Amino acid sequence: MFTRAGAGVIGTFKMRRDGTGISKLLGQTITPALAPDGSKIAFGGRDGNSVHLYVVDLSTGNSTQLTHGDFDDQPAWSPDGKQVAFKRGRLGPASAIFVINSDGSGERRLTNDAAGDSHPSWRR
């Protein structure tokens, strides 16, 4: 899985290990993350001037909007696939790390400092 942006093409793509068979999975995605079991992708998706966090089920193609913040991106799945950590806010002092259940419930803020935070990850 990879993201391509440029020459009028924006989206998340997949390809075989040998570099052949490139096909588009999603359009207009920001920082996609594959779930640990490979069944879903979490990503930041534009909605006008905002970016919200979405999850798409790869078997059905159905997507669910998880968040309603101003700029939510950089998703990171928990090892068990039940939660997604993400950055809210543009990079800089206004950004913070949040976590939400993969069904969109239970959102909570994890960080709150003057430096701003980004690129969450999980520790096993």
The better pLDDT of the pair 16, 78 is held by 78
The better pLDDT of the pair 91, 90 is held by 90
pLDDT at 123 over 80: yes
Please, are residues 124 and 103 in contact by the beta-carbon 8 Å criterion?
no
Amino acid 62: pLDDT: 86
11 pLDDT band (50/70/90 cuts)? low
Amino acid 48: pLDDT: 76
Q: How far apart are CA 50 and CA 33, in angstroms?
A: 19
* CA-to-CA separations, 82 to 23, 91, 101, 112, 119, in angstroms, rounded: 28, 26, 6, 23, 18
The better pLDDT of the pair 119, 23 is held by 119
Amino acid 67: pLDDT: 94
Amino acid 59: pLDDT: 86
> H or E segment at 6?
strand 2-6
Mean pLDDT of 15-23: 73
Please, are residues 85 and 122 in contact by the beta-carbon 8 Å criterion?
yes
The better pLDDT of the pair 9, 42 is held by 42
